[in-house]
Structure 1
Amino acid sequence: MEYSQILKDLRRESATVRNRIQSIIFDAKYVAQFSEFPIVANERCGLWYVEPKNTAASVYFKSTDGHTGQWKFSLRRLNFHMLDLFQLSQTIVLVDSTRKGKIMPDALLKTVPMWCAVLNYIMFEKEDVDQWDELAKDNWLCTPPEMVSASEHSAMVKLIPEHAREVQKLGLVVKQELIQKLGAHKPLVPHWLYPGKKSRVSASDNQFSICCLTASRKTSSGTNVPGWHYTQPYVQGAADDHELWASPEICEGKLDHNLLWNEIYYEPADDLRVVDMATGDICLWLGEDEFLSRIEKIYTNSKSCKDTSAMDVSPLKNTGISIGAITQDLSFSEITKINDLISHIVVLSSEFAVTNVPKDSSVKIILHRVESSKKGSKQLREILPKIFETISTVSMQDQVIILCDSGKDLCVGLALAILAKYFDRDWNLVSSLPHVNKDVIKQHLCMVLSCRQVNPSRNTLQSVNTILM
């Protein structure tokens, strides 16, 4: 066999689902070494490297918010819920990964440091900071000099006051609220760890530490990785862009971190098991075809055992609006038994619906077949006016439940539109249409984020803005 063909076969082997999962398991063992601290997974990639039972929270710091020349503090991805964890521990570990060619993703290198710096700037503005003089000198920005150039660091420093002013102008968070969430008046300081770096988690009594941890080891070939004893090459950042390799043909497109750790990894049946529990790794004798066949059966079994009564819905305080996910057909009685004041149930889904609706029910069911995609987000421009024709009022006596496939995107868009149309910025019901602009939408989104961890896409927010303004 020619050398080029051997390389081609090796690349094909490294791209198999089996080898990706084994690489994820290998990296997860490294992450597990830090379990003495609360472990936070950065969506989406980081979720794969932490067992759900060991995940204190998940956040969404995007690498694109840290790309050169595009550094920003995202007003859509505030991640303020992570601050509450510091009341449990002065140090938390934030996990992410990246594909080959880099040691660390920009989300950990620059997005998180910018986030910390902006919040510190707000928390210590106009204060004597002699105690933290070294930290405060660059507008509180800390980046690793071996990975972020001095010129890039300097350019980021100049943007921090502007980002802080924007947060303050919108009233998204104030100094006292930050101190209350954290439980003390101390700065947030990022540190960086990755496989092969000879240091431990940094902790100090006079600061809150965010250990930015890369799960995967940097490698160009996938070979010569310490501790990797398998014939196929190691895949750095194997979980990245999982929708490209965990394709719709595999487990109906439902192969994710939850299925891996909650069902596949601990499968007890001998004829289905894929993991050797003596080593915690995938059975060496298991080929790709048999591996895929077994996880398909595990998925089918888990689906048949799923609790059909489970609902994932969050009320938006006392507005009468609740938002959530619909991941299977839901019976009318299952929805209404948790709330007998519902007047409307809105479902924005390409697959699922409300079933067994009584003919004499006064509750209006509004179903729009919308997929969770850029196309679906743009469809909201046609759908929202139609929904407003049906929903003329919202209150605690006339409540609305809004469901979409993810519980984080389309349902949030509709909720924001209703909030902006019928409520003021403090979520008090108003009799006339309030003035609406992009800042108002951002303020409503910030309050939604205090009720549920959501992540509406840019296209969803643009559709809301188009309809309301």
Structure 2
Amino acid sequence: MTLPTASELIFSEQANHNFSKTLGELKRSTLSIQNRLQSIQHDAAFAQLVADAYCRPLIANERCGSWYIAPENKGGSAYFKSTDGHTGVWKFSSRRLNLHLLEIIGKHDGCIIVDSTRRGKRMPDALSKTIPIWCSVLNYFFFPQEPQFHELYTPPQVVSQSEHAQIAALLPSFLVALEALSIPVAEFRYHVTKPLRPIWVTPDSNVTPTSSIFEDFHPVICCTVSRRVAGGELTGGGYIQGAGDDTENWAHRLSPPIFWTNKELLLSTPEPELPDLIETLVTRAAAVGTAGGHMRCLKPTSCLFIFTIVDLLKNNMAPAALTVLLLPKITNEDTWHTSSTRLDVGLGPHKLGSRNLRTALPLIIDFFRRSLTPQKTAAGQEDQAKMKIFIACETGMDLSIGVALAILCLFFDDQGNLLREPSQGTNIDKNFIRSRFGWISTSMPDVNPSRATLQSVNSFLMERPK
């Protein structure tokens, strides 16, 4: 028998190329839209199982948590970022206070926060570290005289003793940062009668029905819905761990509400037809609009409201108030004044708009300064007492938040009362800006303006002539 030569045993470059191409095609087919949606449905069933077992409301940890909760079963949203729990950079975020959860937790003796994570991880850092930090810092804040409530709890199968100790050592500094925001303690302490304690549930847990009332603490149940898959994409048998994440790479603008409204249709549609179907559903949803659902007041004010541009114009709200529209296209500054009570500020899209905001803010603030100057007539002053301020951008989550933050710093006192001219003598530093942003994050817990937007606001406010 003739033995094969070395050249016959080694694959040619063409063979290697074909092999890589085949693996790539297999990976893409495994990560198909259809597999993602099927995986989301599978994980959503586990989330509902946990809700049924523990009799507490499901809270979606955005961005991806809403994929796993049917809208009729969703008790609210939270925004705990995994980056705030990354090893070595742990923090208590002043931008993501999530204090709105306290009312839910107090009313239901706890809640279930739903999230998922990418393949290979047991649970997301948001659930294993960010939420434990949040619970412990709030316990320090609300129960300063009860040191037994201040202990940090982390899942030992995920967080090492060393990392746990390093996080615990930082808790006093996190408390100082929270206290600097001047949050009204009594307003939020009213909702919680016991300390908060995280508890962790994953698909590997033994979930048994219970309606237990925990005598010593309010449970914050951190639910990882995705089953852990070891290895690469091809090892899950079509199941995708953390399928609801990274939507910009696969969803074609499909959102959780559209998915849940059209779930059966989407799950029964062949993969090649899904992109066109999704485009049709997204377009149809945009045409219907949200019927004013995105009008939100920034408390403690009673007159400052945030919109999306679509909602503001669709519901014909603009004529009723001082209005600033922040447009996702660049327009000439000469065209911005459309009336004595309205600015249409063309800043451009995304990061470009955030950078341009810095140079636009002086004109926007001057518009408010002139508009809020007291009128000479009693009738004019009466109208001002009823004044409303509307700010809108494309998403209602970014540029509009930046402008609102600047206005809150300059035109509102510490009780949320509207001033008739920019405040004088107030030391506007980073701590002051953070405290005003705390109002926003409490009123709109799902808000997450870009770093570039906040940098533009900070630069404008701190560089203004005193």
TM range (shorter): 0.7 to 0.9
Structure 1 SS opposite 2:219: strand
Normalised to the residue count of structure 2, the TM-score between the two structures is 0.82
1:261 aligns with 2:269: no
Report the count of equivalent residues.
Answer: 418
1:330 aligns with 2:322: no
Letter in 1 for 2:359: E
Structure 1 residues 352 and 260, CA gap change in structure 2 (3 angstroms) = farther
State whether residues 330 and 346 of structure 2, in contact with CA within 8 Å, keep that contact through their aligned partners in structure 1: no
1:288 paired residue number:
271
For residues 5 and 461 of structure 1, what CA distance do their matches in structure 2 show? 44
The superposition leaves residues 260-306 of structure 1 with CA deviations (integer Å, 9 ceiling, x where unpaired) of 112x215xxxxxx33xxxxxxx23xx4311233333333344444x1
For residues 321 and 235 of structure 1, what CA distance do their matches in structure 2 show? 43
Normalised to the residue count of structure 1, the TM-score between the two structures is 0.81
Structure 1 SS opposite 2:443: coil
Q: Which has the higher helix share?
A: 2
State whether residues 327 and 344 of structure 2, in contact with CA within 8 Å, keep that contact through their aligned partners in structure 1: no
1:140 aligns with 2:137: no
Structure 1 residues 212 and 27, CA gap change in structure 2 (3 angstroms) = same
1:162 aligns with 2:173: yes
Structure 1 residues 307 and 411, CA gap change in structure 2 (3 angstroms) = closer
1:321 aligns with 2:341: no
State whether residues 201 and 211 of structure 1, in contact with CA within 8 Å, keep that contact through their aligned partners in structure 2: no
1:189 aligns with 2:189: no
Letter in 1 for 2:365: F
2:358 paired residue number:
381
1:451 aligns with 2:428: no
1:465 aligns with 2:458: yes
The structure that has the greater radius of gyration is: 2
The superposition leaves residues 102-154 of structure 1 with CA deviations (integer Å, 9 ceiling, x where unpaired) of 01010001000000000111222223x5xxx4xx4xx4200011110000000
Structure 1 residues 328 and 398, CA gap change in structure 2 (3 angstroms) = closer
2:126 paired residue number:
107
State whether residues 308 and 396 of structure 2, in contact with CA within 8 Å, keep that contact through their aligned partners in structure 1: yes
Structure 1 residues 410 and 145, CA gap change in structure 2 (3 angstroms) = same
State whether residues 346 and 402 of structure 1, in contact with CA within 8 Å, keep that contact through their aligned partners in structure 2: yes
For residues 108 and 46 of structure 1, what CA distance do their matches in structure 2 show? 12
**Deviation at 1:465?**
1.0
2:222 paired residue number:
212
Structure 1 SS opposite 2:292: coil
**Deviation at 1:192?**
0.8
State whether residues 416 and 464 of structure 1, in contact with CA within 8 Å, keep that contact through their aligned partners in structure 2: yes
For residues 62 and 164 of structure 2, what CA distance do their matches in structure 1 show? 25
Structure 1 residues 349 and 215, CA gap change in structure 2 (3 angstroms) = farther
For residues 179 and 102 of structure 1, what CA distance do their matches in structure 2 show? 35
The equivalent position to 1:298 in structure 2, one of 265, 278, 281, is 281
**Deviation at 1:308?**
7.0
Q: What are the ranges of 5 or more consecutive residues in structure 2 without an aligned counterpart?
A: 1-14, 332-336, 373-383
Identity between Structure 1 and Structure 2 (%): 37
State whether residues 409 and 433 of structure 2, in contact with CA within 8 Å, keep that contact through their aligned partners in structure 1: yes
State whether residues 41 and 96 of structure 1, in contact with CA within 8 Å, keep that contact through their aligned partners in structure 2: yes
For residues 73 and 438 of structure 1, what CA distance do their matches in structure 2 show? 16
**Deviation at 1:168?**
1.6
Q: Which moved more, 1:105-114 or 1:164-173?
A: 164-173
Q: CA RMSD in A?
A: 2.8
Structure 1 SS opposite 2:316: helix
**How does 1:36-435 map onto structure 2 within 5 Å?**
36-127=55-146, 133=148, 136=149, 139-174=150-185, 176-182=186-192, 184=193, 186-200=194-208, 203=212, 204-219=214-229, 220-221=231-232, 233-246=238-251, 250=252, 254-262=253-261, 264-266=262-264, 273-274=265-266, 282-283=267-268, 286-304=269-287, 306-307=288-289, 309-316=291-298, 317-318=300-301, 320-327=303-310, 330-331=313-314, 334-336=316-318, 340=320, 342=321, 344-350=322-328, 362-371=340-349, 373-392=350-369, 393-394=371-372, 396-430=385-419, 431=421, 432-433=423-424, 434-435=426-427
Letter in 2 for 1:334: N
For residues 394 and 71 of structure 2, what CA distance do their matches in structure 1 show? 20
Segments of 4+ moved more than 6 angstroms = none
